[in-house]
Amino acid sequence: MKRSKCMWLGLLTLLIIPFFVALSVSSAEKKPAQDKMATVNGNTIAKKELDRQVAMILRELANKGNPVDESKIGDVKKDVLEGLINRELLIQQGKKKGIKIQEKAVSDRLQSVKGRFPNEEEYKKALIKNKTDEKTLKTDIEKELMIEEFLSKEIMQKVNVSPEEVKTYYDSHPESFKRPEQVRASHILLKVDPKADQAQKAKIKKDLVNIHKKLKKGEDFAALAKQYSQCPSNEKGGDIGFFGKGQTAKAFEETAFSLKPNKMSGVIETEFGYHIVKVTEKKPESTASLDETKDGILKHLKEVKIRNDITKYVEELKKKAKIERFLTEAK
């Protein structure tokens, strides 16, 4: 429950994940009132707050390799404003329910945020980068905690998923529970510098061929892997565990999946260098049982219900609220 609370809270507050819900805009946009972007039952959402949240989201998307095109920024602003309206409505409901957040809870959450940074200096740089300060951050945290507690009491604790619903989902999504063929392998790797010339490559390959000769004479694979392999798996005797197709270099994959258990390859080449591969175990394609997957299904169905219930709840709040929006394309 704790993980779900934090996740849905992040969606709602726009502090972590943007564009929680695309709720319809029922009231018409009006002429901008200086720094006022919207009012929610008389409470103002300021332009400064909107700009701050938009900047954070644009930067986060850019950092993840998904920069927003200039022509789409207006749409981003509209979505963010709707999120801030959602947040304000939930905060107002939390206050009506008499929810009060203790200073210690705010301080604890603040320390958790600070803990994500290597030191105080980096934390302060992040505040500056996000055009905020610790006082504003603490206010955001208090709002976050209030929404978290309110949603927990009003929605999350009331959501239930029956065993019948879990089984129905399992039966109706057979493809989701298929396990692809997997292989467990060990290897000995001698790395090759990308800038190495043919003579250097030939010497490294010859060294591995000599190791291969030792293996063919019956020397222990794990012992030689620990002694010679330049992969971190050398500490485990070369064992890299189970993997499926598409998870390793193509030549390595083809070799591993073509070998039978307890059989060893010759010297093969990948972009990392030269390898000797030994397959230790294989798992054929299979389907995970209901018992194996029921906890994951339960979690998924619960999260879907929570998301839908929050969306419906916010929609109902909007119908009853007096909301004015002042955002224009110029803004």
**Per-10-residue mean pLDDT, the chain, length 331:** 38 36 36 77 94 90 89 92 95 95 95 93 90 91 94 95 98 95 98 95 97 97 98 97 96 97 97 97 96 97 96 96 83 42
Average pLDDT, whole number, for the chain?
A: 89
Centroid of chain to Cα 124: 25
> Are 56 and 76 in contact, with CB atoms under 8 Å apart?
no
pLDDT, position 16: 32
Helices 103-114 and 120-129 sit at what angle, rounded to 10 degrees?
A: 100
Residue 1: CB partners within 8 Å, gap ≥ 6?
152, 156, 157
Q: What is the pLDDT of residues 128-165, one digit of tens each?
A: 988 889 999 999 999 999 999 999 999 999 999 999 99
What's at 141, amino acid-wise? I
- What domains can you pick out in the chain, each with its CATH number? 2-163+292-325 (1.10.4030.10), 181-284 (3.10.50.40)
- Token output for 8: 């849905």
Q: What is the pLDDT of residues 12-36, one digit of tens each?
A: 443 333 333 333 333 334 444 568 9
Cα→Cα distances 224→188, 234, 237, 239, 276, Å: 8, 9, 8, 12, 11
Q: What is the pLDDT of residues 314-330, one digit of tens each?
A: 999 999 999 999 987 54
What's at 303, amino acid-wise? E
pTM of full prediction above 0.85: no
| 114 phi and psi angles, rounded to 5 deg | -60, -35
Nearest one of 55, 83, 51 to 68, comparing CA atoms = 55
